[in-house]
Amino acid sequence: MLGNFAYCNPTKLYFGGDSLNALNAELPKYGSNVVFIYGGGSIQKNGIYDAVVEILKKNGKNIAEISGVMPNPTLAKLYEGVEIARSHQPDLLLAVGGGSVCDYAKAVSVSVNCQEDPWEKYYLRFEEPDCKTIPVGCVLTMVGTGSEMNAGAVITNQETKQKIGHVFASEEIMPKFSILNPQFTLTLPHDQMVAGIYDIFNHICEQYFSGEDDNTSDYISEGLMRSLLHASRIANQNPQDYEARSNIMWTATWALNTLISRGKTTDWMVHMLGQAVGGYTNATHGMTLSAVSLPYYRYIMPYGLAKFKRFAIHVWNVNPEGKSDRQIAQEGLKVMEGWMNELGLAMHITQLGATEDMIEGIADVTAVLEGGYKPLQREEIIRILRESL
């Protein structure tokens, strides 16, 4: 395990079909003002809204609502929510939804008492909050981002077409508790389910494809990937399979709650490319990742050949006999492509509304990170984006 690190994750998880009841144990820990944050209406259709309101009322809470948090929440929506939250003086922000709602709640949390513009402070200058933040609790209804147990909050500025994620350093920003009921995810449309599955897979890849050493995080990652592949194939055939969906939910949380990044430099370039495509197209997060992944991985594979070979054998069961390292690694990516097609993921950015004339602009807003096998130059980003068309 390279380097020195600390590990602390303070989020308390409640998992399972009865886990919403845990709200009764958590709510008394906070004052009476709760801001209930949710998305565009799915929780009203599937009954989760009524169940949550009943528990809030039973616990004597004064409730204000921020509704209509959209996928890829916008800066304009953040400003609106901050105003609502300021006027309600909340003791708790309760996010009920997917990654967008959970991320948004964290962004509101750090902005309510902030004297400066949150976009400038947190998303352009990447500063940490120096004001009082509001505790966040989550009830998760869409699986993928890991937002339920991390300090990430992604916001899109529609005016500048920038989609930027800030992973806060402070554990204060992590949800105080998260309720993970796999049954709540069963009403997700198939395309959202598979987008979430790919998001999970790619979170693991972003951490796995980095660093030189053969560390414990790599072995945990391979186990998580194998579990995810197994469960994804079952869920793809039968989305109502509780066992498969619950394994996917649990894997998502461990894929991005800081555990498997320990001892790794971490890459995150698929996410930087995907987020840049997302800033231009507002496409579903997991689909932006799937559309750029294979061109990116094929490009960097020679720079991390030993790891791509290991990935092929340990994750995709490629038989190495009589093959060169390069052939083994290429076969691994080929089998991965087959799995992605089987799930029905977007494999080209044109499927998401991106066009050739956007490439330069997308490249301009792609942040370059240096933890992977090959720090990219602008012309390399353009080449990968062209291959993703």
**In this chain, which of 26, 103, 218, 267 binds ligand NZQ, going by CB under 6 A?**
103
Q: Contacts with ligand NZQ in 227-266 (CB under 6 A)?
A: 256
CA dihedral 229, 230, 235, 240 (to 10 degrees): -140
Q: Is 283:304 a contact under the CB 8 Å cutoff?
A: no
Helix H or strand E encompassing 56: helix 48-58
Amino acid in position 281: T
199 versus 267: smaller Cβ distance to Zn ion = 199
72 binds, among ligand NZQ, Zn ion, none (CB under 5 to 8 A by kind): ligand NZQ
Residue 78 CA to residue 87 CA, distance in Å, equals 14
Q: Kindly state the smallest distance separating residue 150's Cβ from ligand NZQ, in Å.
A: 5
Site string for ligand NZQ, 122-161 (x = CB under 6 A): -------------------xx-xxxx--x-x-x-------
Q: Which residues of 81-118 are buried (b: 16+ CB within 10 A; e: fewer)?
A: bbebbeebebbbbbbbbbbbbbbbbbbbbbbbebeeeb
x/- string (CB under 6 A) for ligand NZQ, residues 47-86? ------------------------xx--------------
**Contact residues for 100 (Cβ-Cβ < 8 A; gap 6+):** 39, 69, 70, 71, 72, 73
- Which residue in 81, 97, 304, 332 binds ligand NZQ (CB under 6 A)? 97
Sole binder of Zn ion in the list 26, 103, 148, 199 (CB under 5 A): 199
DSSP assignments along 327-342, one per residue? HHHHHHHHHHHHHHHH
Identify which range of 36-44, 212-220, 336-344, 374-382 contacts ligand NZQ by CB under 6 A.
36-44
Binding site for ligand NZQ (CB under 6 A): 39-43, 46, 71-72, 97-101, 103, 141-142, 144-147, 150, 152, 154, 165, 184-185, 187-188, 192, 196, 199, 256, 271, 285
